[in-house]
Amino acid sequence: MRRRDPQRQPVAGWLFLTPMLVILGLFLVAPIFMALWVSVSDWTGRGSPFSGDVNFVGLAHYDQLLATEGLARQDFMLSLRNTFYYVLGVVPVQTVLALLLAVIVNQKFLRGRTFFRTAFYFPSVVSSVAISLVFLFLFAGTGAVNRFLSAFGIQGPNWFNDSRGVLHIVGDWIGLWSTSAPPGWLADTRVLNLSLWQWFSGPSVAMSAIMLQVIWTTAGTFMLMFLAALQDLPAEVDEAAMVDGANKWQRFMNVTVPHLRPTILLVVTLGVIGTWQVFDQMYVMTQGGPSKTTLTPAYLSFEQAFTNLNFPRGAAIAFLLFLIIFVLTQLQRWILRDKDAIAQRRAERRQRRDRRRGGPNTPAGEAAIARTTVTEAQS
Amino acid sequence: MSDSIDTKAVGDKDTSAKKMVVYALLVIFALIYILPFIIQLVTAFKTNSDAVNNPLSFIPDPFTTAAWARLLETQFPLWFTNSVIVTLFVTVCRVLFCSMAGYALARLKFYGRDTVFVLLLAIMSVPGIVLLIPKFLVLNSLGMYNTYAALILPLVVDAAGVFIMKQFFEQIPPSIEEAARIDGAGPFRTFWSVVLPMARPALITITILSFQGSWNELGHFIIATNDSGLYTLTRGLASLTSGGLGSGRQYPITMMAGLLMTIPTALVFVLFQRYFTQGANVGAEKG
């Protein structure tokens, strides 16, 4: 009576998949194609984008964003500049901070490690809106941060209303240039709608406050990843290095960091993907201001579509952002291509060990699963 | 706690100087991480002028629950209810649908399974933020804009959740299902009565992930509705900064609102902390 392979069950298989296929198809796959059409059409937001009055305009909207002198390209370039500095600031700092926190919390002699780990991780699970509201208060002109700074005789800026570029300010301090009269060759040379002076502004003070907030929020998540990796560090290797006479710092740089390499690369990759998408903080705190210095592609796309009702341009920006993130992740994969095999072998060894230690129900085992999940999700 | 296993190298002495440095760093970081929440808590019970003039004082003077009373007069309770409704529906559906799909992809053999899995991986790599406008277009075309369905349906399946469940089911030994099959149970019965009960840890992980995801979601709720009666907490609170609720820069109100929104998260976090560990690593793409 039994079939040859009792697990071959096409009817049950497809039935089990149906909810997923319907929902993801309807709200993920179909929207992408629909938006792709809108981005090459002249739809004005009224009626159906598939009705007869809507025309195909080719790459006109992409052209306005990339190749035609005008406000559209200026805004888009500003958003790219802002996000570039944002990513450049947030990713390295949050990675180093996460590693530092993990190393501290991993000290064996420490009392209350669980408490501190919880405290550092907690902001990661709280809504970005709630945290943004708190930071609006902390970084207000007369807020807690400026009060704290004034105790040291420092007069803090009016954070979220300050559009001055950080590099401009630093250059002014060290006498490289004067912000009131920028050097002519910087101010007069224009590349892609912005002067070199604008390109080299660095993040604005307002953007820096958002950067501090995001670093503070996300470091805890990445700390957990580093913590899991640190707990996998084979003690024998560390001992061998110690026998060879290596001191603490040498052991950290030559044993621990190389062991953490796959985790560091993962954290940087996830960081880059996440930071390019920054949106919530701009929506809640600055709406792209002051002087468009916190404008990001994600927020600009939203603003074009829902405030200016220019859906085609908004969709075009979204696709360009997608392209940027895609290219960056591919670039990172290409840079890491040789080391994947090593990481793979290491992961297999770890999994074998975890299985011996009692399977995925141990926290270390769980972390191993989570890591492979993320790795595979990115590949 | 696995980190209580002592893996310290032999002869690796923790000198007291080193301990001092570590404790000093720890205290500094702990203050940086805990103070903002304490300031939030204290400010929620201050008057606005006290909040503005003494942002660093830890004793409200005078102590007042005016912010709480003011919030109750507004749509805030409605937003809270909406958040609860949406989170509840999304979580129940996600647990069911993700485990069904994960089980099929892990255990049932059928033509096209591998293709579906490859597509799933491709979908997971699409950054969520670029889907805002596309999702609005579809909701609008389907006539769902400004309905509860628009808030809930697009969130009820999560590709990462399917992926986690698939990985979990692959680790369960097949012998148990075979036993059920020999006893005459069909695939649905096997799934419901045999496989699901064994998947408890993974189900809790998905539950936590989807609670956290839908309670904190902002982008999707922005594009799914513009009716303040359908706002969830995130959307409603975001409108506070632009003077919604007539709050303007009424800091005690925004702090109180944020506090009330954080309490459920904190409760779930404390109760299920170890499941967050796994969830964090998967959901790490968010900014």
Nearest to B29 among A120, A278, A322 (CB): A120
Q: What is the structure's pLDDT at B278?
A: 57
**Least confident stretch, A72-86, A99-113, A287-301, B72-86:** A99-113
Q: Residue B6 above 50 pLDDT?
A: no
Residues in chain B: 287
Nearest to B108 among A12, A120, A233 (CB): A12
Burial (Cβ within 10 Å: 0-12, 13-18, ≥19) of residue B24: exposed
Q: CB distance A104–B22 less than 8 Å? A: yes
**Contact residues, chain B, for A131 at CB < 8 Å:** 258
Beta-carbon contacts of residue A188 (< 8 Å; ≥ 6 apart): A195
Beta-carbon contacts of residue A60 (< 8 Å; ≥ 6 apart): A40
Q: Which one-letter amino acid corresponds to residue B222? A: I
Q: What is the structure's pLDDT at B130?
A: 85
Q: CB distance A127–B215 less than 8 Å? A: yes
Beta-carbon contacts of residue B36 (< 8 Å; ≥ 6 apart): A134, A135, A138, A216
Contact B268, B211 (CB under 8 A): yes
pLDDT tens digits, one per residue of A121-140: 999 999 999 999 999 999 98
Q: Which of A4, A8, A11, A27 to probe the B interface (max B CBs under 10 A)?
A: A27
Q: Using alpha carbons, list the distances in angstroms from residue B160 to A263, B58, B168, B245.
A: 20, 42, 12, 37
Average pLDDT, chain B: 85
Q: What is the structure's pLDDT at A4?
A: 54
Q: What is the structure's pLDDT at B156?
A: 94
Q: What is the structure's pLDDT at A14?
A: 92
How far is B196 from B202, CA to CA, in rounded Å?
10
pLDDT tens digits, one per residue of A5-40: 666 788 888 999 999 999 999 999 999 998 899 999
End-to-end alpha carbon distance in chain B: 29
Provide the sign of the torsion angle of the four alpha carbons B198, B201, B206, B207, taken in this order.
positive
Q: Cα-flanking dihedrals φ and ψ of residue A165, to 5°? A: -75, 140
**Contact residues, chain A, for B175 at CB < 8 Å:** none
Q: What is the structure's pLDDT at A372?
A: 39
Q: What is the structure's pLDDT at A363?
A: 40
Contact A218, A94 (CB under 8 A): yes
Contact A76, A324 (CB under 8 A): no
What are A348's two structure tokens?
């297999």
Give how far A180 is from chain B: nearest CA, Å: 32
Q: What is the structure's pLDDT at B14?
A: 60
Q: CB distance A137–B101 less than 8 Å? A: no
Average pLDDT, chain A: 84
pLDDT tens digits, one per residue of A315-357: 999 999 999 999 988 888 787 665 556 666 677 777 766 666 5
**Contact residues, chain B, for A281 at CB < 8 Å:** 287
Longest C-alpha distance within chain A, in Å? 90
Measured at the CA of A218, the angle between CA A217 and CA A221, to 5 degrees, comes to 125
- Kindly identify which residue of chain A lies nearest to residue B259, measuring between CA atoms: A130
pTM, full prediction: 0.86
Residue A359's Cβ-side half-sphere holds a number of Cα atoms within 13 Å equal to: 7
pLDDT tens digits, one per residue of B40-97: 999 999 998 898 888 888 999 889 998 899 889 889 999 999 999 999 999 999 999 9
Radius of gyration of chain B, Cα coordinates, nearest whole angstrom: 24
Mean pLDDT of A243-248: 79
DSSP A361: G
DSSP A204: B
Mean pLDDT of A100-114: 86
Mean pLDDT of A351-374: 48
Q: Please, what's the b/e burial string for B249-282 (b: 16 or more CB within 10 A of its CB; e: otherwise)? A: ebbbbbbbbbbbbbebbeebbeebbebbbbbbbb
